[in-house]
Amino acid sequence: MPLDDKTTAPDDVLLRAYARGEGRAAEILTARLLPRVYAHALRLLGDVTEAEDVAQDAMMRLWRTAPAWRAGEAKVTTWLYRVTANLCIDRLRRRRQVPLDGIDEPADARPSAAAQMQQRSRLAALQHGLNALPDRQRQAIVLRHMEGLSNTRIAEIMDIGPRAVESLIARGKRALVARFAGRREELGYEDDTD
Amino acid sequence: MTPTEIEEMDKLDKLLEEAAHAPVDLPPGLAARVLQDASAMSPTARQRPKLSLVSRISSALGGWPALGGLAAASCAGFWIGFSPPAGMPDAGAFLLGEEEVTLDDSLAELSGFGWDMEEG
C-alpha cells in the first residue's frame, strides 16, 4: 500500500508497514503519535527534560516491537499510553519526589501578554497540583481530562476495572479542589462576571 | 457534594479542559531523534549479510583457490583410506563392519588415510 502525507491508515497498519521496511510509515507514525506521547509524559512528570527522554524511549520501544505486532490486538495508542506511563512511574519512583519547578516561568511581562501569563500561571499551578497527587490518581486524571479517553479505555491502559478508574479520578480531583481552595485568584477562578 | 463543592469541581473541570487544549510544543530535535531511532531499528538497517561457517573459514584461509588444494588433498587421503591399494587394510570396509582387519603394530590405520605419505 503506497503511503502519502494524507494517509489515514490505522496505526497498526502503518506499524506493520514500518516493520516491512517502509520508512515513510515511521514518519507518519512519528508525526501522529510523538506529540501525544510527549504531552502525556510531560503531564505525568511535570518536567520537560524527563518527558523528552521518556517520549524518545517509548517510541524506540514501539519501533522495536513492530516486527512482532499482530493486527487486531491492542491498539497502538493504548500500548503507547501504557508504556509511557510505566516509564514515567519508574522515573518518579526513582526520584521519590516530583519537582515543583519543572514548568517554565513566563518570561514576557508586557501588558499585551498579561492574559497569556495568567494562563501560564494557572496551568503551572494545575501541573503542580497534579505533581503532588499519587501517581495512579494523576495518571487517571490526565488520561480522562487531558487525553479525553473513556473509563473503559483508561481501565484497559491501567489494567484495572472501570470503577477503580472512577474512584482514582474522584479522589484525585477532590485532592486538587482542596489544594486550590485558598488560591482562587491565582487560578483565575474570579471571573469578570463576579 | 455541597453547592460550593460542586462549583469548585466545575471550575477545576474547566481548568483541566483548558490544559487539555493548551498547545504542547515538541522540544527541538526530538522528532528527528525518534526518526533516527526508527531508521536504525528498521528491518532493512538490521539486515546484515549472513556468512555461513564455510564462507567464514574460506575467507580466513585465503578464499576458494586455497581451499581447492586443501579439498583435493583431503579427498585423496579419504579415497586411499576408503579404497586402499591391494594388500593394505580397508579401513572403510572395516568401519562398515564388512571386513575384519587385524591391526598390527605398524601404522596401518594411518597409512590407510595417506597420513604416512608425508613421512620421509
How far, in Å, CA of A181 to CA of A192, rounded? 19
Residues A26, A80: contact at Cβ < 8 Å?
no
Q: What is the pLDDT of residues B7-47, one digit of tens each?
A: 999 999 999 999 999 988 999 999 999 999 999 998 776 66
Find the length of chain A.
Answer: 194
CB contact under 8 A, B38 and A20: no
Using an 8 Å CB-CB cutoff, list chain B residues near A180. 8, 12
Mean pLDDT in order along chain A per 10 residues (194 residues)? 68 94 94 96 94 98 94 88 95 71 47 73 92 95 95 95 97 94 66 44
Q: Is the pLDDT of residue B105 over 50?
A: no
Q: How confident is the model at residue B66 (pLDDT cuts 50, 70, 90)?
A: low
Mean pLDDT score, B50-59:
60
How far, in Å, CA of A187 to CA of B15, rounded? 8
Q: How confident is the model at residue B50 (pLDDT cuts 50, 70, 90)?
A: low
Q: Which residue has the higher pLDDT, B93 or A51?
A: A51
Residue whose C-alpha is closest to residue A144's, from A92, A81, A51, A83: A81
How far, in Å, CA of A108 to CA of A116, rounded? 9
Q: How far apart are the first and last CA of chain B?
A: 108
| pLDDT for B33 | 97
- The percentage of chain B sitting over the pLDDT mark of 70, rounded to a whole number, equals 37
| pLDDT for B110 | 39
How far, in Å, CA of B6 to CA of A194, rounded? 17
Mean pLDDT of chain B: 67
Residue whose C-alpha is closest to residue A84's, from A102, A65, A66, A57: A57
And the C-alpha cell for A75? 491498539
How many Cβ atoms from other residues are within 10 Å of residue A120's Cβ? 18
How far, in Å, CA of A107 to CA of A127, rounded? 18
| pLDDT for A93 | 86
Using an 8 Å CB-CB cutoff, list chain A residues near B27. 38, 48, 52
Q: How confident is the model at residue B116 (pLDDT cuts 50, 70, 90)?
A: very low
Find the length of chain B.
Answer: 120
CB contact under 8 A, A35 and B16: no
Residue whose C-alpha is closest to residue A12's, from A83, A88, A80: A80
| pLDDT for A181 | 82
Chosen for mutation from A24, A29, A30, A184 (greatest number of chain B CBs closer than 10 Å) is A30
| pLDDT for A4 | 57
How far, in Å, CA of B41 to CA of A29, rounded? 15
**DSSP sequence for B61-100:** HTSHHHHHHHHHHHHHHHHHHHSPPTTS--HHHHHTTS--
